[in-house]
Amino acid sequence: MFQSIRFSSRLPARLVRWNSTGPVLPPLMATLRTDLKTAMRAKDTTRLNVLRALISETNNAAKTASPIQTDIQLLSLIRKRLNASKDAAKEFDAAERPDLKEKEDAQVVVLEEYASQVKTLPIAEIKEVVINEIAAMTNANTKLNQGMVLKALFAPGALWMESQWTGKKLLPR
């Protein structure tokens, strides 16, 4: 007559993942999230809008085939937004809208601040590394072509890939 009621999940216990490991976020992303909270408390609307946009684009990219996993990829996104804001500021200046131009200029300042937090190798150092690698391959009588040089440069354990600033890999693999 009466049946006992059992609460159960929709999936059997063997199909439920009890712990999960999410993707590791870049260190700059953690900074963006803490700065978002700080901007909310300070009611800094310019910084708040920029940070919300960056976090939103990062979250949207996480749903695609190529999520943002490194600071270098996040830097690429920041530079893209930076160029878009600079272009918008030029257009607002041409349209004689100084109020909107000031808003875009303020966003450019915030984006440049975050772009400067990512350490990258200067072009001169990259050229020096490539020239040294080509010289080493020439001295070893190795066949020189673009593929062989790139293979040597991106080989696992290549010393130049270790950042002198942070001790972390500079380029995503």
R_g of the chain computed on alpha carbons: 24
Residue 129 tokens, joined: 């590394």
Residue 152, CA atoms < 13 Å, CB-side half-sphere: 18
> For helices 45-62 and 71-94, what crossing angle results, to 10°?
130
pLDDT attached to residue 42: 96
pLDDT in tens, 25-49: 788 999 999 999 999 999 999 999 9
pLDDT attached to residue 75: 93
**Backbone CA torsion sign across 121, 125, 127, 131:** negative
pLDDT in tens, 78-100: 999 999 999 999 999 999 999 99
Domains of the chain (ranges plus CATH)? 27-115 (1.10.1510.10), 123-161 (no CATH)
Amino acid type, 93: D
Chunked mean pLDDT (size 10), the chain, 173 residues: 57 59 78 95 96 95 88 92 96 96 96 91 84 86 82 73 46 43
Query: How far is Cα 170 from Cα 119, in angstroms, rounded to an integer?
Result: 8
Query: How far is Cα 106 from Cα 85, in angstroms, rounded to an integer?
Result: 9
Query: How far is Cα 160 from Cα 154, in angstroms, rounded to an integer?
Result: 9
pLDDT attached to residue 4: 57
What predicted TM-score, i.e. pTM, was given to this entire model?
Answer: 0.67
